[in-house]
Amino acid sequence: MTRDARLFLINWFDKYVNRYRNANRALPAALELKYAHSLRVADNARLIAVELALAKEEVILAEGCGLLHDIGRFAQYEHYGSFSDADTVDHGLKGRLVLEAEALPERISASDRACIACAVEYHNRKTVDIPADLPADAQRLLKIIRDADKLDIMDLVLQSVIRDGFLDLPDMLPHIRLSRELTPDIIEEMRKGKSISISNLRTLADFLVMLASWFYDLNYAPTGRLAVSRNILQRLEQELPDHRLVRNMLEDIKITLTKR
- Which residues of the chain, if any, have pLDDT below 70? 105
Residue 94: its pLDDT value, please?
Answer: 96
Query: CA nearest 233: which of 210, 206, 254?
Result: 254
Cβ-based neighbour number of residue 52 at 10 Å: 17
Domains and CATH numbers, the chain: 3-152 (1.10.3210), 175-258 (no CATH)
Residue 105: its pLDDT value, please?
Answer: 67
Please say whether the beta carbons of 84 and 173 come within 8 A: yes
pLDDT in tens, 162-208: 888 888 777 777 788 999 999 999 999 999 988 898 889 999 999 99
Is the whole model's pTM more than 0.85, yes or no? yes
Query: CA nearest 237: which of 196, 228, 258, 197?
Result: 228
Phi, psi of 177 (to 5 degrees): -95, 150
Residue 66: its pLDDT value, please?
Answer: 97
Sign of CA dihedral 159, 161, 163, 168: positive
Query: CA nearest 213: which of 186, 189, 195?
Result: 195
